Structure formats: C-alpha cells, structure tokens
Amino acid sequence: MAHLKISLLGPIQVTLDERPVTGFKSNKVRALLAYLAVEADRPHRRETLAGLLWPDWPEREAMSNLRYSLSDLRRTIDDRAADPPFLLITRDDIQFNAASDYWIDITDFRKSAGIQKSHPSFINKLEKAVALYRGNFLEGFSLEDSPTFDEWALLTREQLARQILFVLHTLAETYEQRSAYEKAQSYAWRQLELEPWEESAHQQLMRVLALSGQRSAALAQYETCRNLLAEELDVEPSEETKELYKQIRDGKLKSFAPCPTIQPEISTKLPSFLEVEPPHRNSHRCCTRR
C-alpha cells in the first residue's frame, strides 16, 4: 500500500513511499493537493475549486483547467494504484480520502498542540508540535493570480502561527516553573524568532535570564524589547513589562509568576468565496476504481 506524506509547515514537501514527489506540472496542482488535504473533512464542488484556482477565467475554461490539473495530480501521486485511493471523485465533487494511507503534518501538529495539560504526555506532545513546525504554512508559496487561494492560505497560516506561539509560551512557562531555565530560555527565544514583537515572550526571557543569574542580560533584553516596540510599532512596553524590569533591576523578582498570554483564536471562517458552496445535485459517489 502506497504511503503519501504531505508536509505543509514550511516549504511544501511531498513523498510517496519515502521517495520525493517532484513531478507536479504547476503550482496550481500543488495548490489543489494542499487545499484538498487540509480541507479533507468535506467534499468540494468542482465549480468551487475551479473558481478558487482560476478566478479570472471563464467558467468553462476554468473547469477544463481543473480537469487537467486533477489528472496530473492523480498521476503524480499515483492515485490510480492506491487502494484505497487518495482522492474520492464524482462528476460533481472532489474530496481527499481521509481513509487512505496518508499523513499530513498539520493534522499531527494540531492534535499535539491541542493536548490538555492533564495529559500524562503533555510536555512531550507540545515538544512534538514544535518539532513539526518547520516554518510557516506554505512558506514561500503563493498563487499571484488566485487571490482567494492566497486568502485561505493566509488565514490558515495565521491560525497556525498563533498556535505555535501559544505552545512555545506554555513550554517556556512550564520549564520556568520547574526551574529548568535553560530550556525555558530556548522556547522564549524561539517565540521571538517567529514574532519579534511578542511582548509576553520578552517578559518570559527577561524572567528566566534573571532567575538563572543573568541579571544584566535580563535588563538588556528589556532595552531590546523597548527599542523594537518603539522602532517598529511606535509604542512603549506595557506596564507589566515595565514593572518586571523594575523588579529585576531592584532585585525583587519572585521565583515564578506566570506571564500573560492570549489563547490562540482558531477560527474556522473561510474566505467569503468559499463560505457558500453551490447546491449539490443528486449523484452517487464513485471512488474511481481503476
């Protein structure tokens, strides 16, 4: 049974039975695979997919483009030989087959990132999520002539970015509670690599630097935070950050006080074009057994 692996966190990587899949004829074919795999919970009307990828084309030509791209996608991932197939196809709909032998990093990431704190493998799951996050969703990939696809990609990218920041914040906080300051520092730094203006991450880094005996470095981190906020956002640090600075400066920092963070908002809102699918016509589903 062929195993399809799809990695979309960072640059797109696709393998079939551990061999890189590189035969995509165009970025539209890659985009079709990415969209179907991420939105595998429901079938998608052909008209919707054609409009998503070829919004400025006449409908007949857009539908023709979709047929050619779908044919190329099936050939590239060897869908006709897969049992069960990776794609469920009818005259009206196309859906990624969640029962097929495949793995997608986003699904694994979301499961690990959403683990409850009471879970016995809580830390391991969060660290797995960090390892899976190679980079931003569809990094370096866009379709200049398909703004609706790019809107969907941007929305998904922002959701996942907030999730990874929350995961990193939680790990830094947990390791600070355990006095594992070096590990806490690494996760605070990773937050700042992804989002340099995340003030709560600056607070975490200031705290763990101070608690590990690096008071001068903690005070310098405050200046870094202040300068970044002033130069890029034209704002001052929050009162919480200023108070933390004073506590470190005056040697009054307590061993642990959780830094404020914002729970990630995981919206399921689709771009306006995709919110309403055309009504389904009566048809039976065929999985295109070849």
Domains of the chain: 4-104 (1.10.10.10)
Cα separations in angstroms, 253 against 9, 100, 204, 220 = 38, 54, 12, 16
Confidence of residue 278 (pLDDT cuts 50, 70, 90): very low
Length of the chain as a residue count: 290
* Geometric angle at alpha carbon 220, from 227 and 255, rounded to 5°: 120
Does the pLDDT at position 271 exceed 60? Answer: no
The DSSP code for 255 is S
Residue 118: the pLDDT is 87
* Geometric angle at alpha carbon 258, from 253 and 262, rounded to 5°: 135
Confidence of residue 290 (pLDDT cuts 50, 70, 90): very low
Confidence of residue 2 (pLDDT cuts 50, 70, 90): confident
Rounded Cα–Cα distance for residues 152 and 146 (Å): 10
pLDDT (mean) for 6-26:
96
Residue 254: the pLDDT is 80
Q: Radius of gyration over alpha carbons of the chain, in Å? A: 23
